[in-house]
């Protein structure tokens, strides 16, 4: 794993930090000797940091790393109780079946390692969303997952007929400079303190378009 520049630290708390994860970096070690938490720990002079949630390798944005096992346990509780609001943004070139609402259904793994959305709701993935047109042929989605399933948001947008721009696994037709999915905001209470963090994407030709930035500035968290 090669890191050209340091990982951006967005917020520091005695119990945790929040980073802006770049695209192309796995949160786990994979085949590498060092994982993302270890890289960030070395960068800030810590012996260890704890991963408390995940982002796909192709997803950029806000990621919480705990500074202790006790803090990691507290975040596990907050995530289990769905008390941490996660807000993502995504771009698509395809008009959705509906412009806003809830996408709900069980997810089933397919043969090629992808996932699909089912009509059943035994242990469903749940995603609230809104969307707005930025310009002709380009739509911004605001995604608010209420569960944390693998590839949940990518599958959800495919189910709407609006695969994420650049996401070839789930129907994004062409390879681009990145997959246009970004963890934009986090909102939660931690030991009596309300935390609200936002971080706009800083790479990707389409994310940097003025029409997209204008709509992002209007987004309410």
Model pLDDT for residues 91-126, shown as the tens digit of each residue = 999 999 999 999 999 999 998 889 999 999 999 999
Is 56 designated active site? yes
State the pLDDT at residue 26.
Answer: 86
Under a CB-based contact definition with an 8 Å cutoff, are residues 200 and 191 in contact?
Answer: no
> What is the CATH code of the structural domain delimited by 1-81?
3.30.70.580
What is the per-residue DSSP string for 175-208? --SS--EEEEEEEEEETTEEEEEE------TTTT
State the pLDDT at residue 154.
Answer: 96
Under DSSP, the state recorded for 33 is S
Domain range list for the chain: 1-81, 83-220
State the pLDDT at residue 30.
Answer: 59
What is the per-residue DSSP string for 36-100? HHHHHHHHHT-S--EE-S---TT-EEEEEEESSHHHHHHHHHHHHTT-SEEEEEEEESS--SSSE
State the pLDDT at residue 2.
Answer: 47
Task: Please state the φ and ψ torsions of residue 69, each to the nearest 5 degrees.
Answer: -65, -30
Note the pTM of the prediction, 2 decimals: 0.93
> What is the CATH code of the structural domain delimited by 83-220?
3.30.2350.10
Distant-in-sequence, close-in-space partners of 180: CB < 8 Å, separation ≥ 6: 90, 91, 92, 164, 165, 166, 167, 204, 206, 207
Which residues of the chain are modeled with pLDDT < 70?
A: 1-4, 29-34
Query: Other C-beta atoms within 10 Å of 174: how many?
Result: 8
Catalytic annotation, pick one of 56, 80, 189, 217: 56
CA dihedral 62, 68, 71, 72 (to 10 degrees): 60
Per DSSP, the chain holds a count of helices (H) and strands (E) of 4, 12
Handedness of CA 205, 208, 213, 214 (dihedral sign): negative
State the pLDDT at residue 4.
Answer: 52
Under a CB-based contact definition with an 8 Å cutoff, are residues 144 and 85 in contact?
Answer: yes
């Amino acid at each position: 794993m090669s890191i050209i520049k340091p990982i951006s630290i967005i917020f520091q708390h005695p119990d945790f930090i929040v980073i802006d994860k770049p695209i192309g970096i796995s949160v786990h070690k994979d085949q590498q000797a060092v994982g993302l938490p270890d890289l960030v720990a070395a960068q800030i002079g810590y012996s260890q940091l704890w991963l408390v949630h995940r982002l796909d390798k192709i997803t950029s944005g806000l990621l919480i790393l705990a500074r202790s096992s006790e803090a990691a346990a507290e975040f596990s509780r907050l995530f289990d109780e769905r008390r941490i609001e996660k807000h993502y943004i995504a771009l698509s070139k395809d008009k959705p079946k509906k412009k806003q609402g809830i996408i709900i259904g069980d997810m089933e793994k397919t043969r090629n390692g992808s996932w699909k959305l089912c009509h059943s709701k035994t242990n469903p993935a749940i995603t609230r969303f809104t969307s707005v047109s930025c310009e002709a042929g380009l739509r911004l989605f605001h995604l608010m997952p209420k569960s944390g399933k693998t590839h949940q948001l990518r599958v959800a947008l495919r189910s709407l007929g609006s695969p994420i721009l650049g996401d070839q696994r789930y129907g994004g037709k062409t390879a681009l400079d990145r997959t246009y999915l970004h963890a934009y905001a986090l909102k939660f209470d931690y030991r009596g303190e309300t935390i609200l963090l936002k971080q706009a994407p800083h790479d990707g030709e389409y994310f940097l378009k003025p029409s997209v930035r204008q709509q992002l500035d209007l987004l309410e968290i």
